[in-house]
Structure 1
Amino acid sequence: MSVTTFLIDKPAFDIATGIVRFDYGLDDRRFCETLELPKGADPYAAQSPTFQKLLGLAAIVLGVSYFKLLAPLQIAAPDIALTEEEREFVIDVYENGLGEFYARNNLRRFGKLSLVAPADNHRPEVFKLRDRALVPIGGGKDSLVSVELLQAAEVDFTPFAVNPKGPILSSVSEIGIPPIYVTRTLDKEMIRLSKEPGFYNGHVPSTAINSMIAALCAILFDYDRIVLSNERSASEGNVAFDGREANHQYSKSIAFESIIGSVLANATGGSLQYFSILRPYSEARIATLFARETKYDHVFSSCNRNFRLAGHEGPLWCGECPKCHFVFLIFAPVMSKERLTGIFGKDLLAQPEHEHSFRELTGLAGQKPWECVGEILEAAACLYELTKRPEWADEPIVQRLKPDLLAQYGQSQLEFALAELMADSSVHHIPQSLAARISPHAL
């Protein structure tokens, strides 16, 4: 099947209904995706060049879900003008953002994609926005730690989510602040084709997608910051492919944060900020912060197997996927066994049948799982820490992995890694004034 171009049409927003329409073309096929934004948007903002600029960028980023059906080499957005920086941003989303998709489908696209779009040489207007934050909530531990830090620092913020369900709804309910929710409806034909022979399917950069949707809401409802909850561990990739590192979490990485943050700032005349408040921290460090508060124990979940785009069914944790195993592993050093098994419903370190999963997480077998998990050495260091704790040392997983951990890494490297996990990184984009307000509450 031969396809030469993926076509992205100019999007349209109806302020009366809150509906945004995105239209795409792939060969002779047409697709339409919609967003339902909250009603009550500022009419001036909706008609502004700033919003129209972000709307065009959102159309391009959301298009990855349709592009990947056939992954052609050319992308065309004939009615969406782009600056040189924005062109580089688009190529980054379609190359590195889809890095896992290419690796798992053995598709070589790096350096080969072309983008056809008119040039934008206009100087963006300064779009004044109110001093408050829009905070994406994913239903997991990370965004809840962000909430606790922001509340302690008395920062004005609003929870935000796309297609909220399951642990997102229960977490936001516990937060107790009225949220901004957006309904995203994918084209049904795209979903059908993604399951058919002759078409590709795979991972898309969901954080990039949701971030662009959040940017639209920031302009329409007057927020000058989008505050993410991406940790420093997210910057570590999974495998080398086609001359680059493919990272399941690329759109959560510091590299992508730098790119999209600059694009959003420049498109709004410097008014809209974008950064992760958890960037200085490792996953293990975030686990220690989460463990200080118990009110979210039975409303949050980081399990992707039981929490899909189509809905949430069953328990909060499946207990079988790499994400469940990793989260259990980083919580074990900072929570009592009773509390942790109460959260998960079982002791995941007492199940020998999942030994291989823990070996992958700690770098003792295979590759780092295609999941939102922390660094290999981070997982190894946390498991090593459990070997020194009486309540965990005799668990089957801990006993079986201990000799190989020591043989592969050595005690001194594991001890050093444990200390480094608790040291905050200076590599982040948190504004200095906010970092000074947050830091005391992270001690």
Structure 2
Amino acid sequence: MSQTFRIEQPQFDPATGVVRFTYALEGKRFTEVLELPRGIAPEAAGSRAFEKLLDLTAMVLGVSYYKLKAPLVIEAPGIALTVDERDFVIDIYENGLGEFYARNNLIRFGRLTLATAEDTGPAPDAPALENRALLPIGGGKDSLVSVELLEAAEAEFTPFAVNPKGPILGSVETIGRPALYVRRMLDAEMIRLSSEPGYYNGHVPSTAINSMIAALCAVLFGYDRIVLSNERSASEGNVVFDGREANHQHSKSLDFERRIAATLSAATGGALEYFSLLRPYSEARIAELFSRETKFDRVFSSCNRNFRLAGHEGPLWCGECPKCHFVFLIFAPVMEQERLVSIFGRNLLAEPRHEASFRELTGLAGQKPWECVGEILEAAACLYLLTERPEWRDEAIVVALRDDLLAQYGQPALENAMRELMADSPEHHIPADLAKRIAEHAL
């Protein structure tokens, strides 16, 4: 393979807030554009910390264009990176694209070459950032639980989103705080080629991409922390491919959180923090926390299929995809049946045609779906719990899976798993003072 993917230095106009990222591959050039909010302070835009983050963002956003051909050589001669930053970028292009490689049967792990200039200078000075958080809002249950926890802890934060639509806008309106939005415009030719013969397409680490965009805004507008809403089960992979675990949610995992937190801190002289507020919790525990509040019932959605197909301009839930099935399943043990069916518009556990999907989610068949769903044992434990609930035990899916769940896992293991799911993990990077305040609210 002789192709090379080239990343050029980004171009930023602080007067308009427009950033242009240019990439070259196989004789073609692509330009992606970000429109950041107006009102940027010149001193923030001219800081070395911001320039460093801008270069790193160019490297990360490049995955969308790189994957058209996925060559072994990546070069960015105009961008200087430290050794640690190079490791961070390689992780993005290897593990961040792990699902893409697995589904396209591409052998890339440990084989990529990254050629950049070498940054051996002193660390950037720390910019002056205020004690407040940018909170990415995805329109699903997770970030809305973070909203509740931050408000209970009386922590200052601003909702943040890239290309907000549908449930993001509805959620932010319900939150009732001014938001910070960024418009991202992918190169139209890249989008066209993604569906052409001879080019690859597939999943990219969107959380990593949006996190880098958030980091730019944090420095420009004075936020000293980016608070994510990634749960502990995001660290579980889907399949082993090319000798390595491929994880649909790699950029939501604890391992990646550590990497990007260290990278952003070093790039800003220690000024910018990055952590997930929900890392101590399982998906089942998050569902329990969400169920305590009803104000978001009609605005939130975790359905990725509807987002892809209609930009969430239509129904909030398709009811057909593994994500819908998983979210319904983890809410069922902690939410009144009438309320849950009202949210989804139907009872997904009463539809026998979806049995195969629930079997995959619970580990009874196939593999863990390529979706942002929780751990297999978590789904199995939640479904088993429903076999003991009068309002759920006679539903078609529960009846169909009950005996197989008991045969595969055993009743003691399923009951123990449920207890562990509702216990909070100490493995997280939430600052101690904030962790204590949110723990008190989450009891």
Write the letter of the residue equivalent to 2:97. L
Structure 1 residues 329 and 258, CA gap change in structure 2 (3 angstroms) = same
Q: Cα offset for 1:309? A: 8.2
Q: Deviations over 1:250-285 (max 9, x none)?
A: 000000000000000011010000000000000000
Write the letter of the residue equivalent to 1:161. A
State whether residues 3 and 26 of structure 1, in contact with CA within 8 Å, keep that contact through their aligned partners in structure 2: no
2:199 aligned with 1:199, yes or no? yes
Q: Cα offset for 1:310? A: 6.5
State whether residues 37 and 182 of structure 1, in contact with CA within 8 Å, keep that contact through their aligned partners in structure 2: yes
SS of the equivalent of 1:225 reads strand
Q: Deviations over 1:59-113 (max 9, x none)?
A: 0000000000000001001111000000000000000000000000000000000
Quote the residue 1:5 is aligned against. Answer: 4
SS of the equivalent of 2:358 reads helix
SS of the equivalent of 2:399 reads helix
| Partner Cα distance (1:335, 1:439) in 2 | 21
Write the letter of the residue equivalent to 2:83. E
SS of the equivalent of 1:38 reads coil
2:83 aligned with 1:84, yes or no? yes
| Partner Cα distance (1:235, 1:328) in 2 | 21
Unaligned residue ranges in structure 2 (runs of 5+): none
Write the letter of the residue equivalent to 2:417. A
| Partner Cα distance (1:228, 1:272) in 2 | 13
Write the letter of the residue equivalent to 1:381. A
Identity within the alignment, %: 74
Quote the residue 2:96 is aligned against. Answer: 97
State whether residues 3 and 27 of structure 1, in contact with CA within 8 Å, keep that contact through their aligned partners in structure 2: no
Quote the residue 2:42 is aligned against. Answer: 43
Quote the residue 1:18 is aligned against. Answer: 17
Mapping of residues 131-280 of structure 1, within 5 Å = 131-280=131-280
Write the letter of the residue equivalent to 2:238. N
Q: Deviations over 1:136-168 (max 9, x none)?
A: 000000000000000011000000000000100
SS of the equivalent of 1:211 reads helix
| Partner Cα distance (2:427, 2:315) in 1 | 37
Write the letter of the residue equivalent to 1:22. F
SS of the equivalent of 1:81 reads strand
Write the letter of the residue equivalent to 1:212. M
Quote the residue 2:398 is aligned against. Answer: 398
Quote the residue 1:350 is aligned against. Answer: 350
Quote the residue 1:54 is aligned against. Answer: 53
SS of the equivalent of 2:78 reads coil
TM-score, with structure 2 as normaliser: 0.99
Q: Deviations over 1:206-253 (max 9, x none)?
A: 000000000000000000000000000100000000000000000000
| Partner Cα distance (1:277, 1:110) in 2 | 30
| Partner Cα distance (1:350, 1:440) in 2 | 37
| Partner Cα distance (1:200, 1:115) in 2 | 20
Mapping of residues 255-334 of structure 1, within 5 Å = 255-308=255-308, 311-334=311-334
Q: Deviations over 1:379-429 (max 9, x none)?
A: 000000000000000000000000000000000000000000011111111
How many residues align? The count is 442
TM-score, with structure 1 as normaliser: 0.99
Quote the residue 2:370 is aligned against. Answer: 370
| Partner Cα distance (1:128, 1:271) in 2 | 8
Write the letter of the residue equivalent to 1:411. Q
Q: Cα offset for 1:434? A: 1.1
State whether residues 3 and 70 of structure 1, in contact with CA within 8 Å, keep that contact through their aligned partners in structure 2: no
State whether residues 50 and 216 of structure 2, in contact with CA within 8 Å, keep that contact through their aligned partners in structure 1: yes
Write the letter of the residue equivalent to 2:170. S
State whether residues 165 and 313 of structure 2, in contact with CA within 8 Å, keep that contact through their aligned partners in structure 1: no
Q: Cα offset for 1:128? A: 2.2
| Partner Cα distance (2:224, 2:2) in 1 | 41
State whether residues 12 and 18 of structure 2, in contact with CA within 8 Å, keep that contact through their aligned partners in structure 1: yes
Q: Cα offset for 1:312? A: 2.0
| Partner Cα distance (2:302, 2:151) in 1 | 22
2:304 aligned with 1:336, yes or no? no
Q: Cα offset for 1:311? A: 2.0
Unaligned residue ranges in structure 1 (runs of 5+): none
State whether residues 361 and 376 of structure 1, in contact with CA within 8 Å, keep that contact through their aligned partners in structure 2: yes
| Partner Cα distance (1:356, 1:289) in 2 | 29
Write the letter of the residue equivalent to 1:92. D
Write the letter of the residue equivalent to 1:436. K
| Partner Cα distance (2:211, 2:172) in 1 | 18
Mapping of residues 58-77 of structure 1, within 5 Å = 58-77=57-76
Q: Cα offset for 1:8? A: 0.3
Write the letter of the residue equivalent to 1:395. E
* Ranges of 4+ aligned residues in structure 1 off by more than 6 Å: none
State whether residues 49 and 125 of structure 2, in contact with CA within 8 Å, keep that contact through their aligned partners in structure 1: yes
SS of the equivalent of 1:392 reads coil
Write the letter of the residue equivalent to 2:94. E
Write the letter of the residue equivalent to 1:33. E
| Partner Cα distance (1:4, 1:199) in 2 | 13
The alignment's C-alpha RMSD in Å is 0.8
